[in-house]
A and B are shown apart, each in its own frame.
Chain A
Amino acid sequence: MKDINILMIGVGGQGTVLSSDIVCDVALAGDADVKKSEIHGMAQRGGSVVSHVRIGAKVLSPVIPVGEADIVISFENMEFLRYPEYAGKNTSLVVNKYRIYPPSVAGGQETYPAEQTEETKKAFKEVFEIDAMKTATAIGNSKVAGMVMLGKLAALLPFDADLWRTVISKKVPPKTVDMNLAAFNAGYQF
């Protein structure tokens, strides 16, 4: 199969790590080789989180080389700006419209880089903007916003939707399966 590099970016607590684990399990179930590398800062919540996921017939480095991400998925509106080196001319961006204010913005010392976010989107081959928080809230729980994002990512990858649903059902807490699948389906059809 064609190699696919996915850079998954979020803020601690958004479920970025769980989402990237799900992508790995789907890839393995879909008979591909897969590697993932993640850096989550020292703090438990609120810090920047990034996962590199590489899928292919045989994956070597667990880290995506410069400019070689096929898809950048940003679980927060501005966070993709933090990792400019991985996106290239042929990179697609999946971005959540939802903003989480960094401490300096929340404290009033800096402003949220809204203009820069809009401007930088033009550098991508294509951009999918998802209002994941709104969708998740409509489903009934803001905590499944990450699963809406994952649904959209799934729609861009060459694995059967039912494979995703099977893996998600195993990976999320049993009581939350229905809610997560509803969020996944919403994102998949976005």
Chain B
Amino acid sequence: MKEVLSGNEAFARGAYEYGVKVVSSYPGTPSTEITEHVAQYDEIYSEWATNEKVALETVIGASLAGRRAMTCMKHVGLNVAADPLMTVSYTGVNGGLIIVVADDPNMFSSQNEQDSRHYARLAKVPMLEPADSQEAKDFIGIALEVSEKYCTPVLVRSCTRISHSKSVVALKARNTPPIFEPENDIKKWVMVPANARVRHKIVENRLDKLSDCADTGRLTINPVEFRSEEIGIICAGVTYHYVKEAMPEASILKLEMVYPICFEKIKRFAEKVKKLYVVEELDRFIENELKAAGIEVEPLNRSVCGELSVDEVRKLFGKSVREPAFDPRQLPARPPNMCPGCSHRGMFYAIAKLKLFAAGDIGCYTLGLLPPLSAINSTVCMGASIPMAHGMDKATDGALARKSVAVIGDSTFFHTGINGLLNSVYNAGTSTVIILDNSITGMTGHQPNPGTGCTIKGAPTQKINFPKLLEAMGVKNIRTVNPFDPDECIKVLKEETAKEELSVIVTDKPCIFADRSVIKPPFYVDVNNCSGCTICTRLGCPAILWNKEEKRAFIDETLCTGCELCVKVCRFNAIHQRG
């Protein structure tokens, strides 16, 4: 049977068909839907982990126990999981272990554009890269086979154009997976220096064998399509399709194992063509490997920023591309925005009102940076807000701590924020931390987390009690506020930032999508009372619109969720509820 599947659905289907038993992941665009789809298969144990390091360590345990295991993350998530990755390369695996990592060329929803292929070389583990959904599914099977045959974790690289593209996939039944006895092997699994030195040699030897495998193609990898003798192109992943469409005359060597590289095979390919090119997205990874191996590569004037396309490849080879039918002009943007009824908005309104410097983090609340709120002043990575505020506190002997806050969401707090807060408590920090608890992982599409009260499958589970947790961590000043009451937020912010002690403020209203029961009848603007003061439009709520002619605000009642925030800021009693 055939179905049109996204790359992410296909990765999940691969895990099902090839007998994976355990999947543990932290959500991250564009990788999130893999684990969401895995959760639909009862044969696989799946979970949302608190972060990528925990997820990888969980699946290392599952592998040690003898079962096939997978973890999925975005490129920046692999940074968080890099510590166990470097060493699981040394221990090797028992049951097959694969790490799917989804890069985001062009940064459609990411804070950097890093190229995860470098991790394969750094960790000395093989990396496979599928070119469409069918291969996304098939390569899970190949990766598990390679993992078990060569005793190595295997990286499978995706990108936004694989994960969020759809193509036709032939479905099969679930295989009976191999099951191995749990390993109790101290020399293999305890990486003290004496054991690790032995394992490092095994790792190097393994890489040689994998290179040989890549060259001989025993796993039907790295196929050659021989056409013209003039031009030979080496490419991988979705770029293969761009190249094939843009350069139908060229001979192509499609790298399906992007690390280690099949040097012997490439040398044989290079001998058959007059000019050898490498077309790859992001860094000159393959090109530099080839050059280091003494293989001559023709130069291409290619940017290492952003993504490729059929047109970009055509341009690289001097071919013309079609003219667009009309010229792009300046348009009113449709920027991402916090939703109507978002529980973050009131707190950001209060922060902006007090002109506090806000060390931000990664999540929906990063959007607090947008006008009219413009309430976020820094964003680096998951968990960075709290330690950055701590650093600003220490650098200024507390002066900046009186004028700043750290903001972080519940899921990000569990991810890596908790460590930063412990550090601030331990080192007698005096900053003010705001946990914007909306009881869900919002930005990636509403995945439950330890603060939600249910698992990935919707089963009820322990729900973290923030005040109790903070108290146990040694936080003395703990405040809970209603984010839809800006006056209360302003009052609490003033009090807590003034203290020369660490404070944590927790907001307590759920994401409008996590808990639909909070939706109330919409509000409307009473034109007789509206003075046109614009205070409500300064909330940046998508449901509040401005009538330019009448100089009055009005509310799109189809969007309004009845959060009451605008009522609280209106000084003219002009906003009322329907019904």
Contacts and interface: CB of A to CB of B under 8 A. Distances in A.
A104 B542 CA distance: 10
Nearest to B109: A42
A67 interface: yes
B322 A46 contact: no
A102 B326 contact: no
A110 B545 CA distance: 12
B334 A62 contact: no
Interface stretch (A32-40, A158-166, A174-182): A32-40
B323 A65 contact: no
Nearest to B537: A107
Contact of A87 (B168, B314, B326, B331): B326
A88 B323 contact: yes
B165 A123 contact: no
Contacts of A107: 372, 537, 545-546
Interface in A61-85: 61-63, 65-68, 78, 81-82, 84-85
Given A103-B542, A107-B546, A61 B309 contact: yes
Contacts of B454: none
B244 A60 contact: yes
Nearest to B540: A103
B532 to A, nearest CB: 10
A66 B324 contact: yes
A104 B109 contact: no
B334 A47 contact: yes
B245 A61 contact: yes
A85 B315 CA distance: 15
B310 interface: yes
Contacts of A48: 334
Interface stretch (B145-153, B335-343, B466-474): B335-343
A67 B321 contact: yes
B275 to A, nearest CB: 22
Nearest to B239: A61
B572 interface: no
B334 A103 contact: yes
A123 B325 contact: yes
B241 A62 contact: yes
B157 to A, nearest CB: 16
A89 B325 CA distance: 6
Nearest to B110: A42
B29 interface: yes
B545 A106 contact: yes
Nearest to A68: B322
B335 A103 contact: yes
A78 B325 CA distance: 16
B108 interface: yes
Contact of B245 (A65, A120, A123): A65
B299 interface: no
A41 B245 CA distance: 27
A61 B334 contact: no
A28 B334 contact: no
Contacts of A34: 4, 166-168
A63 B332 contact: no
Contacts of B3: 28
A116 interface: yes
Interface string B232-273: 000000100110111000000000000000000000000000
B339 A44 contact: yes
B337 A103 contact: yes
B327 A84 contact: yes
Interface in B429-449: 442-443, 445
B300 interface: no
Contacts of A63: 161, 242, 309-310
B331 A91 contact: no
B311 interface: yes
B333 A41 contact: no
A123 B326 contact: yes
Contacts of A85: 324, 328
A60 B314 CA distance: 14
A3 to B, nearest CB: 11
B248 to A, nearest CB: 9
Interface in A103-160: 103-108, 110-113, 116, 120, 123-124, 142
A184 interface: no
Contacts of B548: 108, 111
Contacts of A120: 326
Contacts of B338: 43
Contact of A104 (B29, B161, B164, B333): B333
A66 B336 contact: no
B329 interface: yes
A82 B367 CA distance: 22
A168 interface: no
Contact of B328 (A28, A78, A84, A110): A84
A88 B542 contact: no
Nearest to A11: B334
Nearest to A40: B164
B546 A106 contact: yes
Contact of B109 (A41, A91, A116): A41
A104 B331 CA distance: 10
A37 B323 contact: no
B79 to A, nearest CB: 20
Nearest to A82: B331
A41 B545 CA distance: 22
A122 B2 CA distance: 41
Interface string A84-99: 1111110100000000
A27 B324 CA distance: 27
B513 interface: yes
Contacts of A86: 324
A113 B334 CA distance: 13
A35 B168 CA distance: 7
A43 B333 contact: no
Interface in B522-572: 537, 540, 542, 544-548, 558
B160 interface: yes
Nearest to A45: B339
* A-B CB proximity, top 8 nearest: A67-B322, A43-B336, A108-B546, A106-B545, A62-B165, A60-B245, A102-B332, A87-B325
8 contacts: A37-B166, A48-B334, A62-B166, A68-B322, A89-B325, A103-B337, A104-B332, A107-B372
